[in-house]
Amino acid sequence: MTNLERFNLYLNNKNYFTDEAKSQTLYQEILEENNLDPFEQYNKESDQIPMLESVYEVLEMLANDTSLFIRVETEFTTVSAAYAYLQKRLKDLRDEINRIKHDTAYEDQNGNVSSITSYLFYN
C-alpha cells in the first residue's frame, strides 16, 4: 500500500476539496510537505507520525471551512455540530500523535527527541 492510499484510508476515501483530481493533487502536496513520497510504500515504523500529521493538516483545513466538510459529510445539520465534531477529531488525533511520539522517543528533522519531560510539559 502506498502512502497516498494509506492517507486516503485515514480520510475514509473522501474527496473534501472540490473534485477527485484536485483532492488527490492536494493530498499529494500535503504528504510531500510532511516528507512522505505519495507513491512509496507505507512503512508504519517510519511513516506513521508524518502520516498522522498530514491527516491533522487536512482536518485543520476543514475546520477552517466547515462547508467543505458538510458538503461531503451530510449527517451534520448545523455548522456548529460539524465544527464540534472536527475539533474533537483534531484533539483525538493530536493526542494519538503525542502518545506515539512519547512511546517511540520520536526524533524530528531538527534532532529534537520526544521525552517524558516534553510530553508532560506540552500536555
Please state the domain count of the chain. 1
Q: List the grid coordinates of 55.
A: 491527516
pLDDT tens readout for residues 85-101: 999 999 999 999 999 88
Residue of 70 and 114 predicted with greater confidence: 70
Q: Coil, strand or helix: which one is 13?
A: coil
Residue span of the structural domain in which 87 resides: 3-122
Using alpha carbons, select from 11, 6, 5, 28 the residue that is nearest to residue 68: 11
pLDDT tens readout for residues 16-32: 887 777 888 899 999 99
Q: Coil, strand or helix: which one is 75?
A: coil
Alpha-carbon distance of 108 to 119, in angstroms, equals 14
